[in-house]
Structure 1
Amino acid sequence: MMVLQNYANLENVLVGPHGEMYTASHHANETVNVKIEGVSVAAEEEDPLRIAVQEIKAEPESTLNELQPVHGEERQYSCDECGESFSQRFNLKAHKRVHSGERPFSCSMCYKSFSRQSNLKAHQRIHSGERPFFCDVCNKSFTCLSNLKTHQRIRSGEGPFSCDVCDKSFCEQGDLKKHGRIHNGERPFSCSVCYKSFSRQSNLKTHQRIHSGERPYSCDVCNKSFSEQGYLKKHGRIHSGERPFCCNICNKSFSEQGYLKKHGRIHNGERPFSCSVCYKSFSRQSHLKTHQRIHSGDRPFFCDACNKSFSEQGYLKKHGRIHNGERPFSCSVCYKSFSRQSHLKTHQRIHSGERPFFCDACNKSFSFVSNLKTHQLIHVDVCSKS
């Protein structure tokens, strides 16, 4: 017989010696006698039968329920907001915090708050360094049991939850549900500021930092901060020099997978972005956008010194050197410096003797196109005299 005394308004999950789960709820200051398979033990004593208190403040009308396995229970508690149903009232109550935004459990170290006490407990392991869950195969450790289970499924290649539309499989049912929104277009999470909607709550939370200006991820090297951890990770490669994405054709490496994908179009000739006016195509969307300014006449970049406008920021930067006198490109032979790299390249032909411009009439060569054009006037004069 199990005796539970003076536990105010608790709903409990009882876990048996073989992992089976049962539920019971009772009122304050009541003594509840529960007989389970002939086992008799006081609540304080150590025993294979453990009590996991899941929720405080049970509803006043709660009474002692007949014990039954959790997995066999009817999902009789439904959420008024989204219709999701639960077999336990405390699970419904915890779920409702997703909609209300209530996060009553706070970390005493960093003050981050959580909707569930179990999530707080898992979070606190970040500060303590505790990683109590170990993989039997590779001995890798985890702070959460769910992370270990996900890791084990990845190792085994198990993906028990499959999408009916595209057959993609997932280790977690929740991940399958989130994925399903790609196909059905569901976007249940909306921004209260601009009303933009998202398929995932995490995406909404990240988006909201645009409005709040929050940038919680800081670089340890230069102290630059970012709104997303992924941006911080990409930025970190500037300092580390890491370029993990490699082209299998020319072996050039990149810090981001997106850069590798764009680079790949050089080799495969893919130009997926087309101009709707002249149908010229480009390998990058940014190049198309720049090109379209030719048709629109848009010149959004202005010089602060002379108010001259440009269609590209790069052109403005080059122009700015006229005013500031900057000449960053130097000749390695005579050390003469230039404001533009193209001017340096032209100058270097003096030293190399390169003469890439040829006259069609007499085949004479020149270092500069301007010299070729001047020369061609000789042939024009000859033709006019004859």
Structure 2
Amino acid sequence: MIHTGEKPFLCSECKKTFAHLSTLKSHQRMHKGEKPFTCTECNKTFTQLPHLKSHQMTHTGEKPFICSECKKRFANLSNLKCHQRIHKREKPFKCTECNKRFTQLSHLKSHQLIHKGVKEFTCPECHKKFTLLKHLKSHQLIHTGEKPFTCLECHKSFAHLSTLKSHQLIHKDEKPFTCSTCKKRFTRLSTLKNHQRSHGGVEPFISTACNKRPSLKVTLLSKVE
């Protein structure tokens, strides 16, 4: 039936069809809520044996699936395939509200909360609300003063991984952001945007002390002081 494409076994619950009876029976456990496979380490239960075996690798630390592009390792084949979309630039999941596309369904679902205005995660310190839990956790570092991300080159610490990665470009001498007007390259996007004001004549910060228009906000602050 693999070669013919036939799927004669029909699920009475959701009308999904399968090539093999065993696959249908395994699928039907989801509708019945049956999870006969139990992890001996943490007692988590699963509907299918392959899912249990995949889960058990989180306890053993095994990562047998390797990305041929960047050599990153994964515990699950599904996670590897999902990761490979980044290299292939595939974004199969599309937001119906704004047409933004994503590599993973979970990323799309998280994004859609923005359109719905859902902010169910609240900071207990300042009561600021967030759409995603990761955004709340990132915000809370402001209150705790934690800087868990350390540069191996100069040992400077940062509150956010994104800030560390941006900082590390200095050591690598990488300048991924290019000015489309003069082709000058920059380490940070913010620096590029400030530079582009010199081409566009955009000087939004006015000094009340001398009535001049410095290009950067930092220049204005130094004049006021």
Answer whether TM exceeds 0.5 for this pair.
yes
**Match for 1:334: what amino acid?**
C
Q: Which has the larger radius of gyration?
A: 1
Q: Which has the higher contact order (CA 8 A, sep 6+)?
A: 2
Deviation at 1:209?
2.3
Structure 1: gaps of 5 or more residues = 1-129, 135-139, 142-147, 154-158, 162-167, 378-386
Tell me how far 1:347 sits from its aligned partner: 1.3
Determine which of 277, 293, 317 is the counterpart of 2:165: 317
Q: TM-score when scaled to structure 2?
A: 0.76
Cα deviation code 1:118-169 (max 9, x no counterpart): xxxxxxxxxxxx736x5xxxxx34xxxxxx233xx3xxxxx535xxxxxx78
Provide the identity percentage: 38
1:213 equivalent in alignment to 2:72: no
Residue of structure 2 equivalent to 1:235 = 83
What's the offset of the Cα at 1:339? 2.3
Any residues of structure 2 matched to 1:220-369 within 5 Å, and which? Answer: 226-358=74-206, 365-369=213-217
How far 1:205 sits from its partner (Å)? 1.0
Aligned residue in 2 for 1:198: 45
Task: Please say if 1:372 is aligned against 2:220.
Answer: yes
Cα deviation for residue 304 of structure 1 reads 1.9
After superposition, the C-alpha distances for 1:280-306 in whole angstroms (9 at most, x for unaligned) are 122222211111112222211112233
Can you list the C-alpha shifts for 1:195-241, whole angstroms capped at 9, x where unaligned? 342233332211122316152x5667777654323223323423443
Tell me how far apart the structure 1 counterparts of residues 160 and 209 of structure 2 sit (CA, whole Å): 38
| Cα RMSD, aligned residues only | 3.4
> 1:173: how far off?
5.5
Tell whether the 8 Å contact from 1:301 to 1:312 is kept in structure 2 after alignment.
yes
Does the 8 Å contact 2:63/2:76 carry over to 1?
Answer: no
Q: What is the TM-score normalised by the length of structure 1?
A: 0.48
8 Å CA contact 2:63–2:73 kept in 1: the answer is no
The aligned amino acid for 1:160 is: S
Q: Return the alpha-carbon distance in structure 2 between the equivalents of residues 220 and 334 of structure 1.
A: 37
Q: Counterparts in 2 of 1:101-116, with a 5 A limit? A: none
1:175-197, CA deviations, whole angstroms, 9 ceiling, x for partnerless residues?
A: 4444443xxxx7653333x3342
Structure 1 residues 367 and 214, CA gap change in structure 2 (3 angstroms): closer
Please list every run of 5 or more consecutive structure 2 residues that lacks an aligned counterpart in the other structure.
Answer: 18-23
CA contact (8 A) 2:204 2:213 kept: yes
Contact 1:299–1:309, Cα closer than 8 Å, also in 2? yes
The one-character-per-residue Cα deviations of 1:342-368 (angstroms, maximum 9, x if unpaired) are: 111111111110012245799864421
Contact kept? 2:209, 2:223, Cα under 8 Å = no
Higher helix share: 2
